[in-house]
Amino acid sequence: MARVKALLLENIHPLAEALLRDSGMEVVTHAGAMDEDELIEALKGVDLLGIRSKTEVTAKVIESADSLQAIGAFCIGTNQIDKHAAARRGIVAFNAPFSNTRSVVELAIAEIIVMARRLTEKDTALHAGVWDKNAKGSHEIRGRRLGIVGYGNIGSQLSVVAEMLGLQVYFYDTDDKLALGNAKRCDSLDELLEIAEVVTLHVDGRDGNAGFFGAEQFAKMRPRSLFLNLSRGFVVDYDALREQLQAGHIAGASVDVFPVEPKARGDRFESPLQGIPNVVLTPHIGGSTEEAQEDIGRFVATKLRDFVERGTTTLNVNLPALTLEGHPGDRRILHFHQNTPGVLATVNGILAGAGVNIEGQLLGTLGHTGYVVTDVRDLPEAAVAELRALPETIRLRVI
């Protein structure tokens, strides 16, 4: 059996490389992101791909990657992966939805305090030799009304931490979410904007959120309120934000994500928000703490390893999520197929016709794709060939 090969891009934590190597895999690393053509060339003979947020795994890349079995996004977002194209090829995609939650929450809290106290301006003045000691425009965050847009893993944890610091928390989410602590749910975004003195975005990267927050929403915010975006760059109209900051309607802003971001550290960066007082710009570092990156490296690499070794797809983002407990000595058949009626019966008919007894089996379907994991004792090669030749078969692997 050929040795599994993994390609890890974008400075993924060394723990991920070590974990995969310890599992017997060949691991190749690359410091930066790759463009489409580079990635197509690099993926020749590669079984596992690890990326962060800068590498775009397009349908063209996926169609060209004959050996690719799984993609690991070592971050929260997966909008940089064409998940539908991957599902059609039986390529499973994993991410790390929880590992850097605390890091993002702590950055949000820090930036709220920095803006409320106008610390960047005090810092700039002192570095320029100016002693500007006064309280004008400087406020405590205790008692202020925080509006959280998006009450998922990050938004809900931010809610708890913010309340501990004395903020009054309001939130809005399109899904029905349970309020934590004393947080109050708003029935609409407009209601939240009317109430909140600080508005922070924690929405996901789905296409429908593009341009979600623009001139209309900024105009509805309370005068002299604060704004944060630590979610996705394309959800906010930053030209509109610049206008509201310069007009004084918005008193401060903190932004960690941008519609277009440099590919590598040290590359030139430009934004319409540069040079505006009380604006904190950070280079997409919400989850970039050593603790978070180590945890992400462990979590995603473990998911990739478990898929290679056992076919486990729990917590993936594009295919049925299955975990089948096995027994020593079993052979395991991993069969991705088109989700049409009768496939499972056909698979079992082929195995029965070959005299194969099934020890354990689990089937899941999602959209157009089905996935069945089957444990057997003896498995004739003729049965494997027959399963692979089925017109509904997308991908078949035996471990």
Does 279 have pLDDT greater than 80?
A: yes
Binned at pLDDT 50, 70 and 90, residue 1 comes out as: low
CA distance 215 to 239: 9
Query: Residues 102, 222, 242, 284: which is the catalytic one?
Result: 284
What are the backbone angles phi and psi of residue 363, rounded to the nearest 5°? -120, 140
Taken in order 235, 239, 241, 244, the sign of the CA dihedral is negative
**Helices 101-117, 290-310: inter-axial angle, 10-degree rounding:** 160
Domains of the chain, each with CATH number or no CATH:
1-99+290-318 (3.40.50.720), 101-281 (3.40.50.720), 320-399 (3.30.70.260)
Q: Which of 63-67, 106-110, 326-330 has the lowest mean pLDDT?
A: 326-330
84 belongs to the catalytic site: no
284 belongs to the catalytic site: yes
- Burial label, 214 (beta-carbon count in 10 A; 0-12, 13-18, 19+): middle
Q: How far is C-alpha 44 from the geometric centre of its chain's CA atoms?
A: 25
Average pLDDT over residues 219-225: 98
Structure confidence at residue 266 (pLDDT): 87
Q: What is the pTM for the complete model shown?
A: 0.85
Does 372 have pLDDT greater than 70?
A: yes
Q: What does pLDDT average to over the chain?
A: 96
Does 144 have pLDDT greater than 60?
A: yes
CA distance 49 to 40: 11
Binned at pLDDT 50, 70 and 90, residue 265 comes out as: confident
What are the backbone angles phi and psi of residue 93, rounded to the nearest 5°? -120, 130
Does 389 have pLDDT greater than 70?
A: yes
The CB-side HSE value for 345 (13 A sphere, CA atoms) comes to 3
Structure confidence at residue 64 (pLDDT): 97
Binned at pLDDT 50, 70 and 90, residue 205 comes out as: confident
Supply 100's token pair: 């850097």
Q: Are β-strands 369-376 and 145-149 bridged in parallel, bridged antiparallel, or unpaired?
A: unpaired
Place of tokens 């069969």: 335
Binned at pLDDT 50, 70 and 90, residue 34 comes out as: very high
Average pLDDT over residues 315-321: 98
Query: Residues 261, 294, 359, 392: which is the catalytic one?
Result: 261
Nearest to 84 by CA among 345, 378, 289, 368: 368
CA distance 327 to 339: 28
Q: What is the DSSP letter of 256?
A: -
Binned at pLDDT 50, 70 and 90, residue 254 comes out as: very high
Does 275 have pLDDT greater than 80?
A: yes
Does 380 have pLDDT greater than 80?
A: yes
Does 169 have pLDDT greater than 80?
A: yes
Q: Could you please report the per-residue DSSP string of 195-224?
A: H-SEEEE-----GGGTT-B-HHHHHHSPTT
Does 81 have pLDDT greater than 80?
A: yes
Average pLDDT over residues 50-57: 94
CA distance 362 to 331: 14
Does 204 have pLDDT greater than 80?
A: yes
Structure confidence at residue 281 (pLDDT): 98
Q: Residue 110 — left, alpha, or beta (φ > 0 → left; ψ -120 to 50 → alpha)?
A: alpha
194 belongs to the catalytic site: no
Query: Residues 13, 102, 118, 232: which is the catalytic one?
Result: 232
Q: What is the identity of the amino acid at 30? A: H
Average pLDDT over residues 133-162: 97
Does 2 have pLDDT greater than 90?
A: no
